[in-house]
């Protein structure tokens, strides 16, 4: 299983698989403090909602262990570390969930002892990682019941082992289905502008021997229309109490295409991706990223210098376009205000 986020106790460091280099190079980066973890998240060396939550949890532990933070009282340093990590990316709720979870435990148990605080934070980070793997396996178990033998499904962006602590959410459905002995095919959207589908999902599926085919984003519609796709499954970065789903840009048009053509559209996400404090999509802050991500592809300039660019990292899909949400606690269907809190609380 791919381990994109791993802690090394011998060196007291966090090792991250550098996803900006895939699929050409397989290299890791070592983080020794919260600043290096934050930089890795901002620069997308580690990405995917569950994975950045796990990375941030370890970042708190590294920060509390760093002597540079011992010049101020523990509570003040803890708040500063958490604030830095929380500012890295605004949309994925798993990031804030993991930070708050670690912070709460440290405040409750550590007193004013930095050594104890770092150990407590590290233990909680380990627990978050282990729980994420188990949650993804349960998502895969539930989701595999929806995929019939011989079908072809489509996925967008990367919601696999690289985006989680391992196994994956959307790709976890495929892994579980294969473990059940099912035969199926997968179409992989390239996912512009950063090509997470082409660089990451294709890399995962190819090396694990799945029957997968890469397509340009704008090819999906014709494949769906021509009955070459029987299901679509994507991940999520935040899901509201009423079932509005923020996911990688390009998810919403896929959902519209699926609805129009009568193809099931599924979202796979753990309980930690739900934000029950908000109801509607317009309450989700959508991150806008560097405009050069659109002006350049793989380091090659494809648009004029200073050409105005709009580059939101995510879009929001309303619940009426979603067939079901596959969670580690079961499948939510139909999706409306009452069904989500019944399972996610």
Instruction: State pLDDT tens for residues 41-84.
Output: 999 999 999 999 999 999 999 999 999 999 999 999 999 999 99
Contacts 24+ apart (CB under 8 A), 254-260: 254/154, 254/156, 254/189, 254/220, 255/317, 255/321, 255/322, 256/321, 257/220, 257/221, 257/224, 257/225, 258/224, 258/232, 258/321, 258/323, 259/320, 259/321
For residues 324 and 302, state if they share a domain: yes
Same domain? For 323 and 288 the reply is yes
Q: What pLDDT does 305 receive?
A: 94
Single out the residue in 81, 111, 136 at which a domain terminates: 136
pLDDT score recorded for residue 218:
97
Q: How far is CA 194 from CA 60, 100, 197, 199, in A?
A: 28, 29, 9, 8
Token pair listed for 224: 């769906």
Task: Assess contact for 34 and 63: CB atoms under 8 A.
Answer: yes
**What are 178's two structure tokens?**
């294969």
Neighbour count for residue 87 (Cβ, 10 Å): 12
Same structural domain for residues 151 and 247?
A: yes
d(C-alpha 238, C-alpha 190), whole Å: 22
- Residue 201: is its pLDDT beyond 90? yes
| CATH number for 33 | 1.20.120.420
Tell me: do 111 and 162 sit in the same domain. Answer: no
Helical H segments across 110-188, by residue range: 114-144, 170-179
pLDDT score recorded for residue 337: 76
Residue 237 has pLDDT above 80, yes or no: yes
Structure-token match 């908000």, residue found: 278
- Domain match, 129 and 199 both: no
For the cut 90, the answer to whether the pLDDT of residue 2 exceeds it is no
How far is Cα 7 from Cα 193, in angstroms, rounded to an integer?
A: 30
**Opening angle at CA 277, ends 272 and 278, nearest 5:** 105
Across-strand partners of 17?
Answer: 28
Structure confidence at residue 345 as a pLDDT band (50, 70, 90): confident
Alpha carbon separation from 119 to 16, 41, 83, 289, 305 (Å, rounded): 20, 23, 20, 35, 49
Domain that residue 49 falls in: 5-136
Q: Has this prediction a pTM greater than 0.75? A: yes
DSSP letters, 197-235, are IIIIIHHHHHHTT--EEEE-GGGHHHHHHTT--SEEEE-
Mean pLDDT of 136-158: 98
Predicted confidence (pLDDT) at residue 262 exceeds the cutoff of 90: yes
**Whether 214 and 228 share a structural domain:** yes
- For residue 336, pLDDT beyond 90: no
Residue 167 and residue 162: Cα distance in Å, rounded?
A: 8
pLDDT at 1 over 90: no
Six-digit token string for 335? 């999706």
State the average pLDDT over residues 274-293. 96
Domain stop point among 81, 114, 136: 136
Which of the four pLDDT bands, split at 50, 70 and 90, describes residue 14?
Answer: very high
Does 199 share its domain with 217?
A: yes
Same domain as 202, residue 126: no
Q: What's the domain count of the chain?
A: 2
Exactly one of 18, 132, 217, 237 is catalytic; name it.
Answer: 237
End-of-domain residue from the set 89, 110, 136: 136
Mean pLDDT of 224-228: 98
Sheet holding 5-8, edge to edge: 5-8, 13-17, 28-31
Can you tell me the distance from the alpha carbon of 163 to that of 5, in angstroms, rounded to the nearest whole number?
A: 10
| Residues 125 and 176 grouped into a single domain | no
- What does the chain come to in residues? 345
Are residues 296 and 275 part of one domain?
yes
For residues 234 and 330, membership in a common domain is answered with yes
Gap between the Cα atoms of 179 and 137, Å rounded: 11
State yes or no: is 328 an active-site residue: no
Task: Please report the pLDDT score of residue 338 as a whole number.
Answer: 84
Written as one string, the DSSP assignment of 23-65 is: TT---EEEE-SHHHHHHHHHTTSS-SHHHHHHHHHHHHHHHHH
Closest CA to 106 of 136, 135, 81: 81
pLDDT band at 198 (very low <50, low <70, confident <90, very high): very high
Among left, alpha and beta (phi > 0; psi -120 to 50; other), residue 238 is: beta
Cβ atoms 188, 7 nearer than 8 A: no
Q: pLDDT tens, 306-332?
A: 999 999 999 999 999 999 999 999 999
What per-residue confidence (pLDDT) applies to 277?
95
Residue 249 has pLDDT above 90, yes or no: yes
Specify the CATH number for the domain of residue 290.
3.40.50.10470
One domain for residues 233 and 332: yes
pLDDT at 224: 98
């Amino acid at each position: 299983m791919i381990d994109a986020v791993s802690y090394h106790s011998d060196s007291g460091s966090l090792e991250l698989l550098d996803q900006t280099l895939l699929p050409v190079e397989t290299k890791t980066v070592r983080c020794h403090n919260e600043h290096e973890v934050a930089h890795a998240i901002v620069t997308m060396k580690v990405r995917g909602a569950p994975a950045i939550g796990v990375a941030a949890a370890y970042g708190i532990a590294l920060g509390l262990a760093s002597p540079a933070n011992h010049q101020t009282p523990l509570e003040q340093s803890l708040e500063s570390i958490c604030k830095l990590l929380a500012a890295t990316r605004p949309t994925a709720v798993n990031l804030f969930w993991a930070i708050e979870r670690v912070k709460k435990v440290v405040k409750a148990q550590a007193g004013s002892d930095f050594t104890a605080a770092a150990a407590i934070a590290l233990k909680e980070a380990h627990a978050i990682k282990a729980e994420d793997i188990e949650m993804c396996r349960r998502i895969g178990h539930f989701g595999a019941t929806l995929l019939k033998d011989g079908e072809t499904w489509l996925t967008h962006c990367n919601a696999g082992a690289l985006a989680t602590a391992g196994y994956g959410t959307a790709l976890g459905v495929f892994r579980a289905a294969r473990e059940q002995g099912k035969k199926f095919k997968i179409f992989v959207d390239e996912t512009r502008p950063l090509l997470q589908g082409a660089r990451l999902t294709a890399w995962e599926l190819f090396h694990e021997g799945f029957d997968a085919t890469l397509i340009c984003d704008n090819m999906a519609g014709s494949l769906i229309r021509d009955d070459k796709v029987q299901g679509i499954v994507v991940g999520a970065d935040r899901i509201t109490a009423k079932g509005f789903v923020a996911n990688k840009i390009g998810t919403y048009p896929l959902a519209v295409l699926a609805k129009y053509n009568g193809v099931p559209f599924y979202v796979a996400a753990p309980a930690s991706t739900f934000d029950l404090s908000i109801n509607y999509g317009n309450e989700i802050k959508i991150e806008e990223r560097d405009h050069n991500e659109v002006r350049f592809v793989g380091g090659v300039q494809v648009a004029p210098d200073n050409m105005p660019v709009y580059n939101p990292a995510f879009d929001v899909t309303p619940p009426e376009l979603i067939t079901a949400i596959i969670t580690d606690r079961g499948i939510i269907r139909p999706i409306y205000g009452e069904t989500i809190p019944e399972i996610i609380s």
